[in-house]
Structure 1
């Protein structure tokens, strides 16, 4: 529905490829620095909504861990690709949205695949044991400085791969049909609950 709003009707096209992480991934990495090294624009999902929408609508491509970034990009007909940075990537929500537009559920490209494979093998061999934190109310995970550099290097490589595509767009006729259904629902809500 955003493209039909006057504030977003004529987006300025930057031609950049943007990465939008899920808000839960923000605290784990310096995404602005990683994106700069990968040659990809960074957009925090926690910025002002109008700013986020304008940047997404003017992008050439969107690399999205944030489902909302993919939804907005698709509405503005900006090709996107899904990536999974954390294990918390919600495939059900992505599949539900994709089904509403009659497209196959996107398969998210996993970031840090070598690390994930190594951890799986280490756990299976009984070599990786979680160490309890001495701080009962900790929120930020502690990492050895060399681990941060290694993760950043993998993230740069993963972003560069994602920026090469392939990218996805829903079929325009299915998008328009979904928009018509949504407008009809809004009209019903306004009629039933809008007051006299």
Structure 2
């Protein structure tokens, strides 16, 4: 059995954690059932992403991009649970199978237990916002630590676990913050942020998705997203079918210099001022956190699903 995950050309910690999470949750899974693909963390229930000629075991995946796969051949699928009730409804499943995103189980891994807090608030953008965005500069001005979602997954998760507050455009930044009991504030910079998958997860843990709007940080970011910057509309320069691909975005706009200098720096800071103010205001807003009991019950239900998988596959 091998884990399937969506692989960004630059990395995306919420997807990359599939590389090691399942070794913790299902030790030995790689040695059994070579004909089965483990479809786990991520918004990957997409016909364009998943191979057809292989048996698939779905544990906590979500829908949100593209077209649903063809589930008519039930022999090719073993769907034990999905990320939340919205995905369950899309697939025509019992709502009880919309349990939670399996990434919440990372908080139980020994390497992340009892990490010392930093007392700092941090911002984790969506990976697409790192293409052309000037968020390291904006965070510095807003007195927030910047965490690159394209960084090594364990490092990103450790930073989230140690934070006092997480301002999250990345959904998995909020999921991990919630799992570590770190208060979080959701933000969005453009319509390219997928609200369906956010609402799918938040519904699973009994909270509402109410993101605060933060303006874009640069013209380059606006071009990448096909959005507005300082009153000017920019058409998206890259097709956006299914899940966006970082490599195709890079054909248009390389990742911006996080530390421009001199007059150029002052100009960029001035143009990014609305983003700086909005991000600072988000860090002062009332944060969210799911109820301890609700989260514990969701994790317990996922644990029960994992136990049935151990029984049936090992």
Interval containing the TM-score (normalised by the shorter chain): 0.7 to 0.9
Report if the CA contact (8 A) 1:112-1:151 is conserved.
no
Q: What's the Cα RMSD here? A: 2.8
For residue 45 of structure 1, report the CA deviation from its aligned partner. Answer: 0.7
Report if the CA contact (8 A) 1:19-1:42 is conserved.
yes
Structure number with higher helix proportion = 1
1:139 alignment partner in structure 2: 252
What is the aligned residue count?
180
Report if the CA contact (8 A) 2:121-2:167 is conserved.
yes
1:125 alignment partner in structure 2: none
1:82 alignment partner in structure 2: 186
Structure 1 residue ranges, 4+ long, deviating more than 3 angstroms after superposition: 115-119, 128-133, 145-151
Q: Where do residues 110-189 of structure 1 align in structure 2 (5 Å cutoff)?
A: 110-112=213-215, 119=231, 138-140=251-253, 148-189=268-309
Structure number with higher strand proportion = 2
Give the gaps of 5 or more residues in structure 2: 1-104, 217-226, 239-249, 255-263
Give the gaps of 5 or more residues in structure 1: 123-127
Q: Could you give the per-residue CA deviations for residues 3-43 of structure 1, whole angstroms, max 9, x where no partner exists?
A: 21110111210010010000000012121121111110000
TM-score of the pair, normalised by structure 2: 0.52
Secondary structure of the residue aligned to 2:131 is: helix
Secondary structure of the residue aligned to 2:166 is: strand
Q: Whose RCO is larger (CA < 8 A, sep 6+)?
A: 1
TM-score of the pair, normalised by structure 1: 0.82
